[in-house]
Structure 1
Amino acid sequence: MKINLKLKDSSERLQSQLAPKEKLPFGKLRTDHMFVADYIDNEWKNAHVIPYSDFSIAPGAIVLHYAQAIFEGAKAFMHPDNEIYTFRVDKNAERLNISADCLCMPNIPVDFQIEAIHTLIDVDRLWFPLQEGASLYIRPFMFSVDDSLGVHPGAKYKFAVILSPSGPYYPDGFSKPIRLLITKKFHRATPGGTGYAKAAGNYAASLRAGEFAKKFGANQVLYLDTTNTYIEEAGAMNHYHITADGTVVIPEFTDTILKSITSLSIIELANELGLNVIQKRIKIDEFINDVKAGKIVEAGGFGTAAVISPVGEYVFEDGTSLTVGNGQIGPISKKIYEYYTGLQYGKIKDKKGWLKKVERKHA
């Protein structure tokens, strides 16, 4: 499908080759343009890069009432050759289609998704922030636009991609461990549901738990399964822990856990990192006892936005807390972070072909 361009006058475009003086926030800024396409009569049509603008949808649009919406999150990085590279966007495109299947939405060809992302980045490449630790955050998403109050899958959809010039997800970056609340009050997903999809409704359902965690000085909730037996996710991230012998342990993927591309990548990088990375179901009681006994020395979360969020302390509703290791960022978490981000920023050779250069065709 041909992508048509309807661009703003170049004189209006921000040229951010001058590095911002202050550290950029995460996800707040937008570039000049967006990509949009429509699904009508069982096919994708009207692919355009247009000026960033509001959507016009009917008050009765299915997405507004029944949350038939999915999204992805990826990143692009500036390398030492002054070219922009995306990181594993093919995996994001594949996962978007998995989410689409879960919510009875149409698939979007992977190659077309990648072309849409790269075309948009190329058009707005002058928005890339020249600042240490910065990136272009990529947000592809799809939603139903049918004007219908019946509970059924839509027949018309809009697919879009927007870009956000961003600094680190956490203002303190990788320098400060986070705290997680261990509670049995909230559950992220139920078996047989949409937990494995990156569905908008899943994140709406997580907000209350996140606000509850803040009351205890925690950044997020450590979600358990519906039986309160096994560890599942850490807020919007996959959880991990590291044992005293250096083994990295990630909860086994189920239909209630989103397959983090960061987790999958770290599993695939095990040999390069010289680490033993395994997946298994982790009982929360055993986890707590092993942290107390010093058998677990590091822990945290894996995810695209923050890459790694080390956990220094787990807190409980009764006011007690549990420190992991010495409460600071551990050497293995640091090693993973430095290797992974070094790969993303082109400081470490990409042996797996995960980075894809954004060709200069439209800028």
Structure 2
Amino acid sequence: MTEVSTFAVKPSPHPRSLADRAAALEDLHFGSVFTDHMARARWTTAAGWGERRVEAYAPLQLDPATAVFHYAQEVFEGLKAYRHSDGSVWTFRPEANAARLAASARRLALPELSEADFLGSIEALVQTDAEWVPSSPGSSLYLRPFMFASESFIGVRPSGEVEYLVIASPVGPYFSAGFTPVSIWVDRDFHRVGPGGTGAAKCGGNYAASLLPQRIAAENGCEQVCFLDAGTNSRIEELGGMNTFFVTADGAIHTPRLSGTILEGITRSSILQVAEQTGRQVRERDITLTEVLDGLGSGEVTEVFACGTAAVVTPIGRLKSTDFDVAINSGEAGPITSELYETITDIQYGRRPDAFGWMHRLA
């Protein structure tokens, strides 16, 4: 059994009433309502990690000189807790999230949090707020661990003080329409990251860079934006918050290779493992926009989809930019996309055996 750290629990003196919680769980949105508690720990140069606890969810009091406000020294993670039919609560591959948080922290010159602390924090929070885990179809408790530079100092150097927190939000599907194809705007003017940057880290700055292009996508009738590489402006990288996949006529699954400018998605790696187990060819390689558009025109590319923790697997039904507007698979979810979505969500919700050992019981 994986080692976990102990987080002391101080119950909130003012938890939401049963009626308030029931109302929140009845009307689920993404990331707008939060549970009664949060997990927390603190790091200093002198003492290392300490002060591990679960306490009432509350605003943070921070000095205007707090380093994160000025230099964006911050990383985060995202994972979900799932209610199974027997009432138990599980999460999906949390050790991978712990490893990615540590890798992101290294890139942002933040202290690494141990896997034991990561698992201990999410276990303690979910067990404390277990009644907040919804049970309606497609719902879950979204967990947001994050770490930020908390020292009050505006000199340019790594912070000598760091706060780590986990907050939780009961959620429904990320896209309001659920598992239905989305439209993607391919942006040629802006880039998410560049070579040698923070593309492989899960940090706020990467997402901040995507927000203007995301707004442009919305203005063009698209739900998400797709970024090309900064070096040649020709290779497909990822969406604002999801990895991309392409299915070819021979049934093979293709995805952009990890080049240091693409986040190594946990759902991405899970899809690759599922695909390989079912005998499909998997190819991680450079994929150009021209190749995809030509393949859609010739029928060589048959399905396009994206993946990430929040949406799991999302079919892409349309690619659009300033000089093209292409429907994919008649705007419907393809069979391989649907199969992968069903396989992974069935494992997450306990509807099929977990042959990979991915699930971790929280409560």
Q: TM tier, shorter chain?
A: over 0.9
Residue 220 of structure 1 and its aligned partner are, at CA, apart by 1.7
Q: Are 2:267 and 2:309, in contact at CA under 8 Å, matched by a contact in 1?
A: yes
Partner of 2:257: 252
Q: Which of the residues 224, 230, 233 maps onto 2:228?
A: 224
Q: 1:218 is aligned with what amino acid?
A: C
CA contact (8 A) 2:81 2:133 kept: no
Deviation of 1:111 (Å):
1.4
Q: Which runs of 5+ in 2 are unaligned?
A: none
Counterpart Cα distance in 2 of 1:244 and 1:42: 57
1:328-347 to 2 correspondences below 5 Å: 328-347=332-351
Q: Answer yes or no: is 1:106 the counterpart of 2:111.
A: yes
Q: SS in structure 2 opposite 1:31?
A: coil
1:100-145 CA deviation, whole Å, 9 max, x = no partner? 0000000011111101101100000011112111001010000001
1:155 aligns to what?
A: 160
Matches within 5 A, 1:270-281: 270-281=275-286
In the TM superposition, residue 148 of structure 1 has moved relative to its aligned partner by: 1.1
Residues 24, 33 of structure 2: 8 Å contact kept: no
**Cα distance, 1:42 vs. partner?**
4.4
Q: Which moved more, 1:18-27 or 1:163-172?
A: 18-27
> For residues 36 and 20 of structure 1, what CA distance do their matches in structure 2 show?
24
Q: 1:48 aligns with which of 53, 59, 68?
A: 53
Partners of 2:89 and 2:23 lie apart in 1 by 16
Aligned with 1:127 (options 126, 132, 140): 132
Q: In structure 1, what is the equivalent of residue 85 of structure 2? A: 80
Report if aligned partners of 1:15, 1:126 keep a CA contact under 8 Å in 2: no
Q: Give the Å deviation of 1:23.
A: 4.6
User: Identity across aligned pairs (percent)?
Assistant: 38
Structure 1 regions of 5+ residues with no counterpart? Answer: none
Match of 2:172 in 1: 167
Q: How does 1:317-336 map to 2 (within 5 A)?
A: 317-318=322-323, 320-336=324-340
Q: How big is the shift at 1:186? A: 0.9
Task: State the Cα deviation string for residues 168-213 of structure 1 (Å, max 9, x = none).
Answer: 0001000x21111123101111000001000111111110010011
Displacement of 1:276 in angstroms is 2.2
Choose from 31, 40, 48 the match for 2:35: 31
Distance in 2 (alpha carbons) for counterparts of 1:293 and 1:278: 20
Conservation of the 8 A alpha-carbon contact between 1:16 and 1:127: no
Alignment partners' CA distance in 2, 1:115 and 1:21: 25
Alignment partner of 2:240 out of 207, 222, 235: 235
Partner residue of 2:362 out of 351, 358, 362: 358
8 Å Cα contact 2:195-2:261 kept in structure 1 = yes
CA contact (8 A) 1:299 1:312 kept: yes
Return the alpha-carbon distance in structure 2 between the equivalents of residues 11 and 200 of structure 1. Answer: 30
How far did 1:325 drift? 2.2
Q: Partner of 1:304 in structure 2? A: 309
Q: Secondary structure of the equivalent of 2:225?
A: strand
- Cα deviation, 1:12-58, whole Å, max 9, x if unaligned, reads 55478958685511111100000011102241111110000011111
Q: SS where residue 258 of structure 2 aligns?
A: coil
Kept in 1, the 8 Å contact 2:63–2:152? The answer is yes
Pick one of 177, 188, 193 that aligns with 2:192.
188
Shift of 1:327: 1.8
CA distance in 1, matches of 2:100, 2:12: 32
Q: Which of 275, 279, 283 does residue 288 from structure 2 map onto? A: 283
**TM-aligned CA distance change 1:15 to 1:71, over 3 Å:** farther
Call closer, same or farther: CA 1:21–1:66 in 2, change over 3 Å: closer
Shift of 1:235: 2.1
**What residue identity is the alignment partner of 2:35?**
T
State the partner residue of 1:6: 10
Provide the rounded CA distance (Å) in 1 between the counterparts of 2:140 and 2:353. 19
- Does residue 140 in structure 1 map to residue 152 in structure 2? no
Aligned-partner residue type, residue 340 of structure 1: I
Amino acid paired to 1:211: R
User: After alignment, is 271-280 or 213-222 more displaced?
Assistant: 271-280
C-alpha RMSD over aligned residues: 1.7
Secondary structure of 1:326's aligned partner: helix
Deviation at 1:239, TM superposition (A): 0.7
Paired with 1:32 and 1:353, the residues of 2 have a C-alpha distance of 31
Distance of 2:263 and 2:155 partners within structure 1? 29
Could you list the per-position Cα deviations for residues 144-175 of structure 1 after superposition, in whole angstroms to 9, with x for gaps in the alignment?
Answer: 0111111111010000001110000001000x
Distance 1:22 1:126 in 2: 13
**What TM-score, normalized by structure 1, do the two folds share?**
0.94
> Residues 127 and 206 (structure 1 numbering): CA distance in 2 closer, same or farther, change over 3 Å?
same
Q: CA deviation at 1:9?
A: 4.3
Task: Give per-residue Cα distances to partners, 1:245-272, cap 9 Å, x unaligned.
Answer: 1111111011100000001011112244
CA 1:11–1:195 in structure 2 vs 1: closer, same or farther (change >3 Å)?
closer
